[in-house]
Amino acid sequence: MLAKIKNDFIDLSKPLDISIPLRGEPSNVNAWYVSHPKIEPHTTDGFVGKVTEGASTNFNDIYFNPHAHGTHTECVGHITEDFYSINKHLKKYFFKAEVITIAPEKYQDDFVISRKQLQYALGNKKREALIIRTLPNVDDKLERQYSNTNPPYLLEQAAEFLVQKGIEHLLIDLPSVDKEKDGGALLAHHAFWNTQGKIRKQATITEFIYVANSIKDGTYFLNLQVAPFENDASPSRPVLYKIED
């Protein structure tokens, strides 16, 4: 089934899901020093919400943190005293997007994504959304335990460049665009949302994606959907569609 978006055609029958599913298991991808998510039958007054335990339905409670346990999309409310909800500030869901692959480079004792790398990868392209796949890109990103591993991150100047390029939706396959332990500076977050100027309330950051190697670098349409939580962040399912010739 073909759909036309801004004079381009996409085949809605060929989605490319770049989210990581949430599982109630210790092997679920994890960060930020919290325990794994839990999905378990609700129990109360002798009732166990599980068909195999005699209930008429499976009736599970789910305990998770959107920032720590999988693909999530966040708004500026993640770092502000004022409350901003991703459910209220993400108002469009289809965007022209560019997928790029970057090998983080050594910077002091870290590995980072620099402004120069983004300039080279994007060139003169104008996009609403940017999807960053980092190298090495291996399947263990689906289950990696990131706490206390100092993953790669974006330099502040790299985030500033994305703002200058008009990128409103940034997606990355890391637990954060910022350094794991930076004393709360969150330089890339602040730069991307322009918290020292006119706040970019419409802009979003999506972390913990996984872009399979079978998805080539290039231009796609992105469908970015979030669960309707009134919170600074929510689990999300970004889906790419190839642009048909």
pLDDT tens column, 69-80: 999 999 999 999
Query: One-letter amino acid identity for 45?
Result: D
Domains contained in the chain, number: 1
Strand 16-17 relative to strand 38-41, pairing? unpaired
Residue 227 lies in a domain: yes
Residue 8 within a domain: yes
Tell me the mean pLDDT in the region 196-200.
97
Give domain status of residue 165, yes or no: yes
Cα–Cα distance, 106 to 101 (Å, whole number) = 16
Domain that holds residue 74: 2-20+69-244
Residue 44: left (phi > 0), alpha (psi -120 to 50), or beta? Answer: beta
Count CB atoms within 10 A of the CB of residue 40.
Answer: 13
Among residues of the chain, what percentage have pLDDT more than 90? Answer: 96
Looking at residue 6, what is its pLDDT? 80
Q: Which of 17, 20, 24, 53 is nearest to 38 (CA)?
A: 24
Residue from 32, 232, 216 nearest 131 by CA: 216
- pTM greater than 0.85: yes
d(CA 4, CA 191): 34
| Percentage of residues in the chain having pLDDT higher than 70 | 100
195 is a domain residue: yes
Cβ neighbours around 146 below 10 Å, total: 19
Q: What is the mean pLDDT of residues 184-196?
A: 98
Q: Are 123 and 117 in contact (CB under 8 A)?
A: no
CA pseudo-torsion sign 10, 15, 20, 23: positive
What average pLDDT does range 40-57 have in this prediction? 96
User: 130-156: per-residue pLDDT in tens?
Assistant: 999 999 999 999 999 999 999 999 999
Q: Is residue 55 part of a domain?
A: no
Is pLDDT of 245 > 90? Answer: no
Other CB atoms within a 10 A radius of the CB of residue 211 amount to 24
For 183-210, what is the mean pLDDT? 98
Judge whether 35 lies within some domain.
Answer: no
**33 is a domain residue:** no
Q: What tokens does 242 get?
A: 């190839």
Q: What number is the average pLDDT over the span 87-109? A: 97
Is 75 part of any domain?
Answer: yes
We report the CATH number of the domain holding residue 208 as 3.50.30.50
